[in-house]
Amino acid sequence: EFTSWWADATNKPITDLVDFGKTFFAKHTLLNILTRYCVFTSDKQLLAMRPYQIVATEKILSKIEVSTNYKKLGTVEAGGYVWHTTGSGKTLTSFKTAQLASKLPYIDKVLFVVDRKDLDYQTMREYDKFEKGAANSNTSTSILKRQLEDPNARIIVTTIQKLDRFIGKNKGHTIFDGHIVLIFDECHRSQFGDMHAGITKAFKSYHLFGFTGTPIFAMNASSGGRPDFKTTEQAFGTKLHTYTIVDAIADKNVLPFKVDYVSTVHEAENIEDEKVRDIDREAVLSAPERLANIVTYIREHFDQKTKRNSFYKLKDRRLAGFNSIFAVASIDTAKKYYAEFKKQLADVPSDKKLKVATIFSFGVNEEEIDGVIDENSEDTSGLDKSSRDFLESAIQDYNKMFGTSYDTSSDKFQNYYKDVSERVKNREVDILLVVNMFLTGFDATTLNTLWVDKNLRLHGLLQAFSRTNRILNTVKTFGNIVCFRNLEKATNESIALFGDKEASGIVLLKSYEEYYKGYKDGDKQIRGYKDLVEELLEKFPVGERIIGEQNQKDFIRLYGGLLRVRNILVTFDEFANNEILTERDIQDYHSKYIDIYNEFRKDDDSEKENINDDIVFEMELIKQIEINIDYVLELVKTYHEDHIKNKELLIDINKAIDSSVELRNKKDLINQFIASLDINSVVDDDWHKFVEQKKIDELERIIESENLDHEETYKFVRNAFRNGNVSTTGTAISKILPPVSRFSPGGERTKKREGVLDKLMSFFERFFDISGGKL
């Protein structure tokens, strides 16, 4: 699913096998990839760098060598910049560059400079993953000073602010005479010009390199700061390598965007171009009715946009759907929106309530004219009293939600920032309400939607959109952008600037009409949803069996294609009334799909040709239209309220269970429960009691039949329920097995261990997502 093409220096894939053999298997290339461009991470993963990452690293190393030989140190000719789009793995490229540069005998130090405290922390975590202890981070200028004086600290990660303070306090320090490589990551803040000037003035023998996903060109150059440091090229030197968003989407390294414009106010098209600061218009945009309507829209469309009914695994946790960021124009607007969310969610039952958090600090409310987003995330000292009090009370809500104890004081706010960051990444927060924070440099693969009610342009627009387009799994096929302002022109401008003139066809998803009815891609006709459904109904009518291996393969291909198109269409508002298949039809087709999947898995080892050789099962997409236990219990309640007489409903319940990958192994449990219902039953309560009792009965049966250690087995299963997975390694499993005679055949214990693990795994899968996890 996530393989990558070998490519040349201009990112053109080498698809010819002979050409691939000549380039990839050349002795020099292969040895370099194995010895220089692979990273064995601290959590035992082997990462091979992609071709564009290798080219960029080599270009920088070559620049260091050539400029050293030609005595160009300390000039713009000793450096350059790498334009690699947001999300293409700049951290790994910069790490390898820093690591290889630090090994050059004539280099004294490599400084990796980020522009915010949070990125400092994030980069260090990433670097530590690549190689524990390879880089040194610092929490204060005095620690940075110590590291700069330590000959063993070869790679140092720091913020531009700390480096600037160090230079100010340590005029004439010996480090300024050293041979230094400075690598900057996305430095676009408004004060960058002045700090950059201070750094280049202080150091004598330096190489300056910049990594950026959105370079500053003449078109989007800032009007602030020093006039001679306007563009990325003027600050760092020539462009050494390019890998744009168009390249990354074509290579499937990041996802395209689907942009919706939800009209909330009718406004003149050219109002933004003229930069008309119309007081009335701003008043309309922040009118309470408008904000209330937008919050209602977000609540009503949240499940659809974030695919809340899709299930997938992340770090052994089973998650439903994705999460989102809501970017608004100012701190005042953020306060109003947060209050409106609280009001509208007040009476919603806790299990259905969206988890909304907010974070902001003193910064420019609307971004600079050049579209560069700038907000100081260091602390909250610049906030006025009412904003700080408001943030304090929002943090108290957060504390209640997650059992934490943060506040707006400097240290605790930093920890609040880190905690919010972590919980968004783990999909524990549903909507994060921000002004500018988290819109640049923040990576969370679980994030798929950005709600926008602010004016974004150029650099800032693409940076903000790019929070949503990290690759995760087959359910997440694009980043969802929902704009409550007319940003269409700004979107096209930004994509043309950072992709190319034709980029919008690749970077933006096609229209609803094209996915529904089909479209032309070059010479190829791509079939739409309507066409696929018509063929499905004609060839494989609902309720009829599919006989013969070839027919089954045709069905899997056709239905798989339909699932992929439907996966995109369900996020369009227009699709709600144009779904051709009924819910019951979909369940029926799902059921067939799962039957064929199970049949082919069962026959894998037999004579039958392996279906997986030429066919792909879209099981993640099947699961994302998943019927869950809550849905089935609702049907059971209706059946119970009907005095347990409606046999039609029983058929519906069994059809629903058969169409679910997750519920099939619970079918007997659900049917036993239905059979136990009487006139006095309370469905929800009785179901939980029933499941808890069955869980204990079945575990006791496994312990007895396998002669397992009673206490250790309970301990093992409790851990599995707590961690969300069954541990197949380590000593825990050995403790539960019965003693085996030393005279028994060699493989006996292994066989026993595997048999027990299979039973415990089936037990776990049967009960984990329908019970409270306690034993």
Placement of tokens 């950072």 in the chain: 498
Judge contact between 483 and 259, C-beta under 8 A.
yes
> What gap in Å lies between CA 324 and CA 450, rounded to an integer?
6
> What gap in Å lies between CA 46 and CA 89, rounded to an integer?
15
Confidence class for position 191, pLDDT limits 50, 70, 90: low
Among left, alpha and beta (phi > 0; psi -120 to 50; other), residue 685 is alpha
Output the 3-class SS for 653-687.
Answer: HHHHHHCCCCCHHHHHHHHHHHHHCCCCCCHHHHH
Residue range 545-574: average pLDDT? 85
pLDDT exceeds cutoff 80 at 170: yes
Instruction: Give the least confident one: 532-541, 607-616, 673-682.
Output: 607-616
pLDDT exceeds cutoff 70 at 118: no
Q: Which residue has better confidence, 508 or 270?
A: 508
Average pLDDT, the chain: 82
- Strands in 356-359's sheet, in edge-to-edge order, are 257-261, 479-483, 447-453, 323-328, 431-434, 356-359
Confidence class for position 239, pLDDT limits 50, 70, 90: very high
pLDDT exceeds cutoff 80 at 241: yes
Output the 3-class SS for 136-201.
Answer: ECCCCHHHHHHHHHCCCCCEEEEEHHHHHHHHHHCCCCHHHHCEEEEEEECCCCCCHHHHHHHHHH
Confidence class for position 18, pLDDT limits 50, 70, 90: confident
pLDDT tens digits for range 444-454 = 999 999 999 99
Cα atoms found within 13 Å of the Cα of residue 603, Cβ hemisphere only: 13
Helix (H) or strand (E) holding 208: strand 205-212
Confidence class for position 275, pLDDT limits 50, 70, 90: very low
pLDDT exceeds cutoff 80 at 712: yes
pLDDT exceeds cutoff 60 at 228: no
The pTM of the whole model exceeds 0.85: no
Per-residue confidence (pLDDT) for residue 551, from 0 to 100: 87
- What are the helix (H) ranges across 570-666? 583-602, 619-624, 629-641, 647-658
Judge contact between 449 and 480, C-beta under 8 A.
yes
Could you give the percent of the chain with pLDDT greater than 70? 83
Domains of the chain: 1-35 (no CATH), 36-243 (3.40.50.300), 248-509 (3.40.50.300), 515-626 (1.20.58.2040), 686-767 (no CATH)
pLDDT exceeds cutoff 60 at 674: yes
Per-residue confidence (pLDDT) for residue 354, from 0 to 100: 94
Per-residue confidence (pLDDT) for residue 369, from 0 to 100: 38
> What gap in Å lies between CA 24 and CA 348, rounded to an integer?
58
> What gap in Å lies between CA 214 and CA 225, rounded to an integer?
19
Q: Which residue has better confidence, 726 or 699?
A: 699
Cα atoms found within 13 Å of the Cα of residue 46, Cβ hemisphere only: 6
> What gap in Å lies between CA 123 and CA 442, rounded to an integer?
11
**Is residue 656 packed enough to be buried (19+ CB in 10 Å), middle (13-18) or exposed (0-12)?**
buried
Judge contact between 584 and 536, C-beta under 8 A.
no
Could you give the percent of the chain with pLDDT greater than 90? 28
CA distances from 699 to 7, 100, 530, 628 (A): 54, 55, 48, 24
> What gap in Å lies between CA 137 and CA 123, rounded to an integer?
9
Instruction: Give the least confident one: 196-200, 208-212, 482-486.
Output: 196-200
pLDDT exceeds cutoff 50 at 269: no
Identify the three-state secondary structure at position 480.
Answer: strand
Per-residue confidence (pLDDT) for residue 622, from 0 to 100: 58
Per-residue confidence (pLDDT) for residue 743, from 0 to 100: 63
pLDDT tens digits for range 325-368 = 999 998 999 999 999 999 999 988 887 899 999 998 865 444 44
Judge contact between 602 and 555, C-beta under 8 A.
no
Per-residue confidence (pLDDT) for residue 704, from 0 to 100: 92
Confidence class for position 503, pLDDT limits 50, 70, 90: low
pLDDT exceeds cutoff 50 at 629: yes
Judge contact between 303 and 321, C-beta under 8 A.
yes
Judge contact between 131 and 39, C-beta under 8 A.
yes
Instruction: Give the least confident one: 20-34, 130-144, 441-455, 568-582.
Output: 130-144
> What gap in Å lies between CA 81 and CA 580, rounded to an integer?
51
Residue range 12-38: average pLDDT? 85
Q: Which residue has better confidence, 747 or 739?
A: 739
pLDDT exceeds cutoff 60 at 560: yes
Helix (H) or strand (E) holding 325: strand 323-328
pLDDT exceeds cutoff 50 at 226: no
Placement of tokens 């400075």 in the chain: 182
Per-residue confidence (pLDDT) for residue 366, from 0 to 100: 41
Per-residue confidence (pLDDT) for residue 742, from 0 to 100: 60
Judge contact between 479 and 249, C-beta under 8 A.
no
Confidence class for position 610, pLDDT limits 50, 70, 90: very low
Identify the three-state secondary structure at position 348.
Answer: coil
Per-residue confidence (pLDDT) for residue 420, from 0 to 100: 94
Per-residue confidence (pLDDT) for residue 679, from 0 to 100: 82
If we measure between CA atoms, which residue out of 87, 85, 91, 90 comes closest to residue 245?
85
